[in-house]
Amino acid sequence: MSSKIILLVEDNPDDILLTKRALSKNSILNEVVVANDGVQALDYLFGRGKWEGRDTSLKPEVVLLDLKMPKMGGLEVLKEIRENKLTKRLPVIILTTSKEESDVAKGYDLGANSYICKPVDFNQFHEAIKQLGLYWLVLNQSPNI
């Protein structure tokens, strides 16, 4: 059985490091694939660009999606994920600093499974990642996509 992959869609190197560190400290040892913008995320999911030839039947267990990114924002990525029959059921968690009510509403309208504001405090962030990992990687039963 293959490892459950986490697709982390994040452009901030500090947030990438912080997320990986929090996952590791919580013994969440899943492979983390990082896409630095929305275009890269879709390239990974659909086997294009630098991921050309990737076995696209191997879907991530969960996508952690930032909203504010270059090239293509998170809401646009989410819209494309939900519009494609191959990825429409993929669990997508928006993990962002935005507390804008319009972003929260739009995220859920587009089919986000969860919306989490990144805590500024490392200990709170650590706990949020622990809970996220426990639920989405251990307890949650994902559909066979």
pLDDT digits (tens, 9 = 90+) for 25-40: 888 888 999 999 999 9
DSSP 119: P
Distance between CA 96 and CA 84 in Å, rounded?
23
Assign residue 37 the CATH number of its domain. 3.40.50.2300
The total domain count for the chain is 1
51 domain-assigned = yes
112 domain-assigned = yes
45 domain-assigned = yes
145 domain-assigned = no
Distance between CA 17 and CA 36 in Å, rounded?
12
Residue-wise pLDDT for 62-95, tens only, equals 999 999 988 999 999 999 999 999 999 999 999 9
1 domain-assigned = no
The tokens describing 116, both together, are 């989490």
Distance between CA 38 and CA 96 in Å, rounded?
14
Decide: 37 and 71 in contact? Cβ < 8 Å. yes
- What domain range is 52 assigned to? 6-139
Q: Quote the pTM value.
A: 0.90
Decide: 6 and 61 in contact? Cβ < 8 Å. yes
